[in-house]
Structure 1
Amino acid sequence: MSKFSGRLVLFGGPVLILGAFILLFAVLFSTAPEPERGEVEARPVAVFVTEAEARPVQLTVNTQGEVRPLTEISLTAQVSGRIDYVDPNFVQGGFFEAGQTLVRVEDDDYRLAVTRAEALVSQRRQQLLLEEAEGDLAREEWESLGEGEASALTLRQPQMEDARAQLAAAEASLAEARLNLRRTRISAPFDGRVRSKNADLGQFVGAGSELGEVFSTDEVQIRLPLTDAQLGKLGIPLAFQAGDSEGPTVLLRAMLAGEPREWTGHVVRTDSAINPQTRTLYAIVSVEDPYGSGAEEAGAPLAIGLFVDAFIEGREISQAYILPRSALRGNDTVYVAEEDGTLSVRTVSVIDSNAEEVVVANGVEEGERVITSPVRAAADGMPVTPLGPDGEPLDGLADSDASSADQPEGEDSASVASAG
């Protein structure tokens, strides 16, 4: 065998063997039977549902505000002098009645001024009587001796006018002296409480000195901010004034002394303008006698400065649907489990919502089953298995169907699995 033939056998043999294997693989692949294609059946998703029920709904607006006094003033001295009396209730937090003397300025000088003014009035009155008598005498003399019409000076009319003027001035001085004497006793024209005290016994005060701050306990008010949407729920005009009739009822809540308390008030009016910073309109709520009858319901007074949650009674909707908050997807979407076992995506009109419930006007019908549990990749026509509140399948489905169904994600998934 030649050298060339040996090399051909050495390199050609493996190539022939590889080609034979490739040819055999191609023949086997081309003659192999094709596998039958099977259709994958979608398994229904187990979901919790609640039945939509139409009923009248009373809308409620929730907001917050601070309790403020209706009337609050500064007690100010109108005369000067030394304080010689302070009422025991004139202390921070003290109660007082209308007209009760809280502070008294020493009045000896003012009593003397009254005495002097009374004496002057008596003197001026005597002068007027003397001038009137002189005038009568002059008239009689003129009528008996004179001819024609007597002049005003002859009849002493200017002298009498001057005497009357001096008497009026003396009486005015007496009224002023008596007024200053009354002003030595400082009081408030309403029942109330003392917020602060700035003067005390023995202190000299001048006219205009501030002695303290007091507020009325007859009524308190709370200013509550309202957005445009909240005004729509209340159904009141921008320029609302309750007048003789009561405005919307307001339930006020707060934690006081470690216990929840509730008070009842009414909206009496709205502010005259919208706040330019917050773009809200304030409603004014009034609570009468917050330290008396207004405190009986809560068992505690509605204290000034307390921050309260307010729930205002709004419009009444004749027919709406109240659903769990978990039923709402996004801003205006809910899922409904149809009678044929499929999912339907619905768009609803949301009237109101909070952390627990959502109120919708339309988009669902009476008796329809609204899905409340999470659904992954929801789409119209998706097969679902509706479950009741107890986790049992509805429509007479077998327990095995629910147990074999895919479980929804989220907190309810464990419940669905255990129910299956």
Structure 2
Amino acid sequence: MRSTFKIALPLLIIAAGIGAFALLKSTRPEPEPPTVHERVWRVEVERAEARRLAPELELYGRVETSDLLKAAASAPAWVAAVAVRDGDRVTADEVLVRLDERDFRPRIAQAEARLAELEAEIASERNRRETDRRALEQERQLLAIARDGVQRQQRLMTQKLGAEQALDEAEQAEAMQALAVSNREMGLADHPSRLQALEARLADARARLDELLLELERATVRAPYDGVVTGVEVTEGDQVAEGDVLVSLYALERLEVRARIPAAYQAELLAALRAGEPLMAVAEVGGASLGLALDRVAGEADPSGVDGLFRIVGDPARLRLGQLLTLRLARQARPETFAVPFRAVYGNGRLYLVRDGRLAGIDVEVLGERRLEGGGERLLVRSPRIASGDRILTTHLPNAVDGLAIEVVGDAGEPPGGVAEPAPGR
């Protein structure tokens, strides 16, 4: 009996504990179910405004010119004076370099003397012609007398009154006089040829003198136009040979900018040029804007694109040959275009609109970039699903998806959607 009690007592204690636990569990108060709050991201938006805008193409160009003048020495000479330095701005007809005129004067004097000699020979030839013309008349008269003498001796011989020797002498005199007339006539006939040869030599001498005078004129090197000196190759006292470069300069108004146009835009810009549409660009030079216009494209292209040559519309005085510029070329304007911040576009062309407190993603066509009048750069996009007045998400959310709950900061018209959390990175 005592052993049975020892076994039953622990079982009773266990049963009592289980019963007490069951009683406590059945009588405990029920907890309220937890409330689930959806996260809402605080974001900024911009109102969409449809405008007619031209996307811009950023290009990198170099200032160059097709009118780089290299003034050279007209003849061997010594440099007498150098009046400019590299980088100087000069005006038209301004003296740049002077060569010593004493290196030119002796050759000019020789040419003038040769010219005077030929002029004297021509005058002598004309006098000779006049002399030959007058002498020919007398020679012909003498020939007629000689022929009369021959006829007279022949009559005397017929009458057996003359001597045979006298007839021979008369015939000899006639032949000699005929030869004299013939020589005189030949001299007159050759006169035009001799005169022409002398006049040709005279023309050559005059040309040589003109050449030497031109060399002397060019001994003083002057600027042919307003420009900028790019290099001075000599100094006072140098000896130069004919053709040696003395100074180089370029005209400001002939400067242009060469920039590479990517192949993707080549057809578009060429079509605009053929249609006569103005293609304007802007470059920043010294903190100020400089206007340019696409004038033409180079005649040779490669797979990467083609060079565009831009005419300078503004004042080129701030430019220098070889200077590198960044250009913003305005392409053809597009209607119904929206300018949005770069951070508003996701991937290759997707942005989000805010509608009823949630995001609505749409695909857009990215047209390019543009710097707006008020400053800052924007991305130009188009889509038929955007209308003026729509709110475009401008806060970049890495977790942006369709239907994401958001709260627009500063927009009283956006109803609260729960407990707002700041956007990542803000």
Q: Secondary structure at the match of 2:299?
A: coil
Structure with the greater alpha carbon radius of gyration: 2
1:264 CA displacement: 2.4
Give the match for residue 155 of structure 1. 189
| Equivalent position of 1:60 in the other structure | 56
Query: Which structure ranks higher in relative contact order (CA pairs < 8 Å, sequence separation ≥ 6)?
Result: 2
Letter in 2 for 1:156: D
SS in structure 1 of the partner of residue 80 of structure 2: strand
Counterpart residue number, 2:369: 353
| 1:241/1:139 CA distance change after superposition, 3 Å | farther
SS of equivalent to 2:269: coil
Aligned to 1:364: 386
What is the distance in 1 between the residues matched to 2:190 and 2:218? 41
In the alignment, what sits opposite 1:343?
359
Q: Secondary structure at the match of 1:273?
A: strand
Aligned match of 1:266: 293
SS of the aligned residue for 1:155 comes to helix
Correspondence 1:409 to 2:424: yes
TM-score (norm 1): 0.73
Higher helix share: 2
Shift of 1:357: 1.9
The residue that corresponds to 1:209 in the other structure is 244
TM-score, with structure 2 as normaliser: 0.72
* C-alpha deviation, 1:316, in angstroms: 1.3
Residues 334-392 of structure 1 deviation map (CA, whole Å, 9 limit, x = unaligned): 11222x433222111111136842211114233222222234533333333344xxx24
Question: 1:124-163 alignment to 2 at 5 Å?
Answer: 124-136=118-130, 138=132, 141=136, 155-157=189-191, 158-163=193-198
Are residues 66 and 266 of structure 1, via their aligned partners in 2, closer, same or farther at CA, if it must alter by over 3 Å?
same
Written as runs of structure 1 = structure 2, the 5 A alignment for 1:107-118 is 107-118=101-112
Are residues 192 and 374 of structure 1, via their aligned partners in 2, closer, same or farther at CA, if it must alter by over 3 Å?
closer
For structure 2, the residue ranges without an aligned partner over 5 or more in a row are: 144-177, 371-375
Matched-pair identity in %: 23
Q: 2 CA distance for matches of 1:231 and 1:164?
A: 62
Kindly provide the amino acid, as one letter, of the partner of residue 361 in structure 1. Answer: R
Q: How many matched pairs?
A: 374
RMSD: 4.3
Distance 1:43 1:178 in 2: 94
Residue segments in structure 1 that go unaligned for 5+ positions in a row: 296-300, 412-420
Structure 1 pair 286–246 and aligned structure 2 pair: CA distance change class (3 A): farther
> Using the alignment, how far apart are the partners of 1:360 and 1:42 within structure 2?
32
Of 317, 321, 343, the residue aligned with 2:334 is: 317
Q: Deviations over 1:254-275 (max 9, x none)?
A: 3x3xxx2222232222222225
- Structure 2 counterparts to residues 13-412 of structure 1, below 5 A: 40=36, 42-87=38-83, 90-136=84-130, 138=132, 141=136, 155-157=189-191, 158-231=193-266, 235-237=268-270, 240=273, 247-254=278-285, 256=286, 260-275=287-302, 279-287=304-312, 290=315, 294=316, 301-338=318-355, 340-353=356-369, 356-362=377-383, 363-375=385-397, 377-387=399-409, 391-395=410-414, 397=415, 401=416, 404-411=419-426
SS in 1 for 2:119: helix
**Partner SS, residue 85 of structure 1:** strand
* Amino acid paired to 2:81: Y
